[in-house]
Amino acid sequence: MQGPGDPIAGAIVVMSGRRTHGSRGLGDRCGFHNDNVTYFAAAPYSGIRRTPTRPYDRSAMAAPTTESAVASTARADARWRPTASTVRRLALASLVANIAIVATGGLVRLTNSGLGCPDWPNCSGGSLVATGKVSWHKAVENTNRGLTGVIMIAVVAVFIAAYRERPARPAVRWWAWVTLLGVPAQAVLGGISVLTDLNPWVVCAHFLLSMALVGAATVLWWNTRTPTPEPSAVPLLVRRLGGATWVLTYAVFAVGTLVTGSGPHAGDAKAVRLPLRPAAISQLHADLVMLLVGVAIGLAVFAAAVGAPPAARTATRVLVGVLAFQAAIGFAQYFTGLPTGLVELHVTGAAVLAAAATATLLALNER
């Protein structure tokens, strides 16, 4: 046995197999021997380490390289990235659809078709669509409900596009959420109006929510625009006047719903009407419209005088034009006995006015 400190520890041992005598030459540098065993000193360390052999890894042949995997993912991902112009077109389609359903909703009310489908969410007989003998009223109401599905497709499309667009725009995503949640809320409120036999207060709330959704869709579309590189600041007074114009616009809408809810177009002869004098509430509505027209004209003049950006000046002029159209239609329908065609134009014009007033407010406050 040899201890760890033995000078021949680790030496290579060769058994000679025969006896040798008197030879010491092997012990000078390489080692020494005795009668039966020759000892060779271990070779000096050469600095090269031998690593143990490992099993061959076949998985590396099947796995793609990191660079190719990233490139492949990037190519696949790029196929689903909408351009800014695509997002803007989808947002515009959502806005147009929201205005369109206001028009069809007005037609439902003007033709006394609000209860054409007496149930909700089904139309009748447990079916979502009109079945059996389809009357005019049922067809009108069923078409209006079907348009809600078209709007839902539009808002879902712009929602997906907003989240797939790069670079991401937080404002676009936020307002895409608002419109996405607003359309189902509008449908539910419409269902409540049917289930309550067209309660006038619920119908008024339904219309005002529609106007709010038109405003939200306008904000969404506006945020998809390419911003002006260096928009000039609009004076605070003019911006506040723009805010007052927007608030006054929606006040006109609120009073307008009271006019309809208390007048002949609140529904058929059995429909409950608001306990208001139609002549008095119509006069209040007309007074607010005249005030709104005056404020809008003043806003357009001020915007031009202070050198507001082109988008702001254009928006104020469009607003004045829409208001002039609405005022003319409103007076014409009042003095001609509220014909259905003129009232339908007036309702549709109200939705366009909501978009114009919202766009004006955004243009004046653009940074």
- Please list, residue by residue across 241-250, b when 16 or more beta carbons sit within 10 angstroms of its beta carbon and e when fewer do: bbeebbebbb
Which tens digit of pLDDT belongs to each residue from 167-222? Answer: 889 999 999 999 999 999 999 998 898 888 888 898 899 999 999 999 999 999 99
- Length of the chain equals 367
| Model confidence at 166: pLDDT above 50 | yes
pLDDT band at 49 (very low <50, low <70, confident <90, very high): low
pLDDT at residue 113 greater than cutoff 90: no
Instruction: Output the average pLDDT for the chain.
Output: 79
**pLDDT digits 0-9 by tens, 61-101:** 444 555 555 555 555 555 678 888 999 999 999 999 999 99
Percent of the chain scoring above 90 in pLDDT: 41
DSSP per position, 179-227? HHHHHHHHHHHHHHHHHTTS-HHHHHHHHHHHHHHHHHHHHHHHHTSPP
Q: What sign does the CA torsion over 186, 187, 191, 193 have?
A: positive
Domain 230-367 fold is Four Helix Bundle (Hemerythrin (Met), subunit A) (1.20.120)
Pick 39 or 355 by higher pLDDT: 355
* Confidence category of residue 263, pLDDT binned at 50, 70, 90: confident
* pTM of the shown model: 0.75
| pLDDT tens, position by position, 117-144 | 777 777 776 666 666 666 767 777 878 8
Structure tokens at 168: 């991401």
Residue ranges of domains in the chain: 1-44, 80-226, 230-367
Question: Do residues 105 and 210 make contact, with C-beta atoms less than 8 angstroms apart?
Answer: yes
Q: What pLDDT is stored for residue 272 in this prediction?
A: 76
Flag whether pLDDT at 20 surpasses 50: no
pLDDT of residue 331: 85
- 163-200 b/e (C-beta count within 10 Å ≥ 16 → b): eebeeebeebeebbbbbbebbeebbebbbebbeeebbb
